[in-house]
């Protein structure tokens, strides 16, 4: 199957382009941006050598659903999705802090906990927790947003002390983060899922806080299946989850965690197809809808045609 691993478009009114780990962002002269969700996949801050068919479509369409479902909580950047892999919206000034919220001891937090750490981003974690146990209440563990390399954990106190974000705005970010997580948790529960942890990114538009990027996708979030969660936890069995954590685990098993001197393993085609199906499974599970696969015969041509048509009439 074909995958979109890079893009090199030139749209009318385009003034610059930014190539991220997964998304390519085209900035237009009218203060809008075109965000192309590629099929690239990253883990441990490295882009894997093979793309995952339909992954970009899944991310784009899941994010679109959740942005529309949360616009009553906080305004967001999205204007339209004229192609399965593309979103168009307002260009905002990014706030250089990633708002991570965790309802359960999983992923990065669990790895830190296993090392004996009981404080993460200035937040104390209770003693005697098992991996994937719920926190008494969700904790916010921010990270500084890096253009390249690793995002770094940072405490609320350090953010305010360094004036990375003014206090009033940061408090607004915390409020939105908890409200968005509550909404995401409710929507996940309706589909038999547990929203374990996630991250939100915000920007400023005319001085107002705006939700940007993606939300509640398998790249930015971790989901457990609610059915059997308690039983698996009681028996110490690994939780069944929908996220890209299983890709990280595959990399770890193949001796790669993004550390110096380690070589990125090449994913066999069979595993690429498994990852693709897992992304499609998450789409169908979280949305409750059948996934309609876009035409991937010539993805760049399809995107160019759809975008040029949309930009000509908007």
Q: Is the pTM of this model over 0.85?
A: yes
> Given this model, what pLDDT does residue 2 score?
93
Beta bridge partners of 221: 198
Domain boundaries, the chain: 14-93+268-313
- How does DSSP assign 44-99, residue by residue? TTEE-SS--TTHHHHHHHHHHHHHHHTTTTS-BSEEEEEETTEEEEE--EE-SEEE
Strands 193-205 and 93-94, by their bridges, are antiparallel
Q: Is the CATH code 2.60.15.10 the one for domain 14-93+268-313?
A: no
- What does the pLDDT look like over 251-275, one tens digit per residue? 999 999 999 999 999 899 999 999 9
pLDDT at 146 over 70: no
Q: For the chain, percent helix, then strand, then coil, each to nearest 5?
A: 35, 25, 40
Confidence band for 88, pLDDT divided at 50, 70 and 90: very high
- What does the pLDDT look like over 205-214, one tens digit per residue? 999 999 999 9
> Given this model, what pLDDT does residue 246 score?
82
**Pairwise CA distance, residues 15 & 29, whole Å:** 6
| Residue in this structure with the two tokens 């382009």, named with its chain if needed | 17
Across the chain, mean pLDDT equals 94
């Amino acid at each position: 199957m074909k995958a979109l691993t890079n893009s090199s478009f030139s749209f009318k009114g385009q003034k610059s382009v930014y190539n991220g780990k997964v998304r390519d962002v085209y900035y237009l002269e009218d203060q809008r941006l075109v965000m192309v969700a590629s099929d690239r996949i990253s883990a441990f801050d490295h882009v894997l050598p093979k793309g995952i068919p339909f992954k970009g479509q899944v991310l784009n369409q899941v994010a679109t659903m959740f942005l529309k479902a949360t616009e009553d909580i906080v305004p967001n950047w999205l204007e339209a999705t004229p192609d399965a892999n593309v979103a168009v919206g307002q260009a905002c000034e990014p706030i250089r802090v990633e708002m991570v919220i965790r309802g359960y001891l999983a992923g990065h937090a669990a790895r830190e906990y296993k090392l004996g750490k009981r404080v993460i981003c200035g937040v104390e974690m209770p003693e005697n927790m098992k991996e994937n146990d719920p926190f008494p209440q969700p904790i916010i563990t921010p990270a500084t947003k890096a253009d390249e390399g690793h995002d770094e954990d940072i405490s609320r106190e350090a953010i305010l002390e360094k004036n990375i974000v003014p206090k009033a705005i940061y408090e607004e970010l915390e409020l939105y983060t908890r409200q968005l997580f509550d909404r995401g948790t409710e929507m996940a529960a309706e589909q038999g899922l547990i929203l374990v942890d996630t991250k939100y990114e915000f920007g400023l538009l005319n001085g107002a806080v705006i939700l940007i990027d993606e939300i509640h996708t398998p790249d930015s979030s971790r989901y457990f299946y609610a059915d059997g969660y308690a039983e698996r936890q009681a028996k110490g069995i690994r939780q069944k989850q929908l996220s890209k954590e299983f890709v990280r685990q595959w990399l770890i098993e193949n001796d790669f965690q993004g550390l110096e001197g380690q070589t990125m393993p090449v994913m066999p085609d069979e595993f690429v197809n498994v990852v693709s199906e897992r992304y499609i499974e998450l789409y169908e599970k979280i949305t409750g809808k059948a996934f309609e696969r876009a035409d991937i015969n010539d993805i760049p041509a399809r995107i160019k045609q759809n975008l040029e048509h949309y930009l000509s009439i908007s």
